[in-house]
Amino acid sequence: MSATRITVRGESPYEVVIGTGVLEELPGLLGEKVRTVAVVHDEALPEIAGPVCKALEEAGYTACPLPVPSGEAAKEIGVLAGLWSDFARLGVTRSDAVVGVGGGATTDLAGFAAASWLRGVRAVLVPTTLLGMVDAAVGGKTGINIAEGKNLVGAFHPPSGVLCELSALATMPHQDYISGLAEVIKAGFIADPKILELVEADPAGAASPTGTHTRELVERAVRVKAEVVSADLRESGLREILNYGHTLGHAIEKAEDYRFRHGHAVAIGMVYAAELARLTGRLDAATVERHRTVLTSVGLPTGYRADAWPALREGMRVDKKARGATLRLVVLDGLARPGRLEGPADELLAAAYKEIAE
């Protein structure tokens, strides 16, 4: 089956290549000037990092594998500092490149390492998870976490290309795959309702990397993100709609010390945002219920602990969409009609949380 190419436009256009056997295109994305390639990869993925390094070596590059911790443990300042030292040891110059291989946390880290080394070197991302393919690796947002919050330190650094090797999805743990599906469903609610229809038609298939519609779901979700990012690289307005469900979701992740899967947190956050929209008269009850039905059908959570609200409210204060003391949330004014809710009263926020409290 041939590869699908989706262009992300902007000041530095690049392609997201989706299919099987797409790793062979990696050398072409790096170009002729590159000599040394730092391959930042999840330490748990030698079976994927190995072929990447082999492809680079066969193309004449010097490939230097640099394993990093799995998951959010990779997005720490100590790990980043270690990569900077590795780059110095390897002699990575401004004409060389970084390749990030792994899930969203790994590609976030690799991208930020590339953005910050010598004020910016070329990066190519090879996401190996559903979350990485449809969200983290597309759009040029890079970053790490600090104790005060997730992704508060980072940079916009568009990659030179993204390779989505669909065969890698078959190796994912089931719950990790389901977590990524939350971002796919999010794309359905904010922009492409056909995604919701595909999930509703075959929830079991949607929840499996071997499902009938897996490739179409990935492609549709990537197109949604590519179109939004192309119009607003630096999150000055439109791009904020991609954060649907993320305000409460990030607060849950922080409260759980980042041991809670991102997609699971976002799923809860989407239901919360839908309830907020309903309570303010912006969204009908049927669409709110559709959130719960679609998410539940694939095994995603839709509620969270009742006693957690004070900690979650505090965590929402440092959300990236906030402006000064004013909290701003992405909500829906209807299916595929995202909008913003600015400065909601604490009483309203608490009332919406009661609707999802368990």
pLDDT at site 132: 93
Q: Which of 186, 250, 290, 292 is catalytic?
A: 250
pTM: 0.91
Kindly report, as residue ranges, where domains of CATH 3.40.50.1970 are found in the chain. 4-171
What's the CATH fold of domain 4-171?
Rossmann fold (3.40.50)
* Spatial CB neighbours of 32, under 8 Å, sequence gap ≥ 6: none
| Bind-site residues | 70-75, 104-108, 128-129, 141, 150, 183, 246, 262
Q: Which of 43, 216, 235, 355 is catalytic?
A: 235
Inter-residue contact 114 to 128 (CB < 8 Å): no
The answer to whether 235 is a known catalytic residue is yes
The answer to whether 250 is a known catalytic residue is yes
Kindly report, as residue ranges, where domains of CATH 1.20.1090.10 are found in the chain. 175-354
pLDDT tens digit sequence for 345-356: 999 999 999 999
The answer to whether 186 is a known catalytic residue is no
| Bind-site residues for Zn(2+) | 183, 246, 262
Say which CATH superfamily domain 175-354 falls into. Answer: Dehydroquinate synthase-like - alpha domain (1.20.1090.10)
pLDDT at site 165: 94
- Check whether 198 has a pLDDT greater than 60: yes
pLDDT at site 149: 77
The answer to whether 246 is a known catalytic residue is yes
Q: 320 pLDDT band (50/70/90 cuts)?
A: low
- Check whether 238 has a pLDDT greater than 90: no
pLDDT at site 319: 65
The more confident residue out of 259 and 205 is 205
- Check whether 47 has a pLDDT greater than 90: no
Q: 32 pLDDT band (50/70/90 cuts)?
A: confident
Neighbours of 311 (CB within 10 A): 14
Arithmetic mean of pLDDT, 47-51: 89
pLDDT at site 148: 81
Q: 234 pLDDT band (50/70/90 cuts)?
A: low
Neighbours of 147 (CB within 10 A): 8
| Bind-site residues for NAD(+) | 70-75, 104-108, 128-129, 141, 150
Arithmetic mean of pLDDT, 192-209: 97
Residue 2, token pair as written in the block: 């041939």
The answer to whether 262 is a known catalytic residue is yes
Task: Determine the Cα–Cα distance for residues 115 and 67; give it in Å rounded to an integer.
Answer: 19
pLDDT at site 317: 85
Q: What is the mean pLDDT of the chain?
A: 93
Inter-residue contact 63 to 37 (CB < 8 Å): yes
Per the listing, tokens 């040891």 go with 89
Arithmetic mean of pLDDT, 113-133: 96
The closest alpha carbon to 180, from 220, 234, 223, 218, belongs to 218
The closest alpha carbon to 240, from 327, 301, 176, 178, belongs to 327
* Spatial CB neighbours of 161, under 8 Å, sequence gap ≥ 6: 14, 15, 16, 17, 25, 29, 124, 125
- Check whether 190 has a pLDDT greater than 70: yes
pLDDT at site 324: 57
pLDDT at site 230: 87
Q: 10 pLDDT band (50/70/90 cuts)?
A: confident
- Check whether 37 has a pLDDT greater than 60: yes
- Residues of the chain with pLDDT > 90: what percent? 83
Arithmetic mean of pLDDT, 238-266: 92
Per the listing, tokens 């270690």 go with 82
The answer to whether 32 is a known catalytic residue is no
CA-to-CA separations, 351 to 5, 147, 181, 279, in angstroms, rounded = 44, 28, 28, 8
pLDDT at site 46: 86
Q: 235 pLDDT band (50/70/90 cuts)?
A: low
The answer to whether 225 is a known catalytic residue is yes
Q: What are phi and psi of 225, to 5 degrees?
A: -65, -40
Arithmetic mean of pLDDT, 193-203: 98
CA-to-CA separations, 165 to 30, 42, 209, in angstroms, rounded = 17, 16, 12
Q: Which of 225, 254, 264, 291 is catalytic?
A: 225
The answer to whether 174 is a known catalytic residue is no
pLDDT at site 236: 62
pLDDT tens digit sequence for 163-185: 999 999 998 999 999 999 999 99
The more confident residue out of 340 and 325 is 340
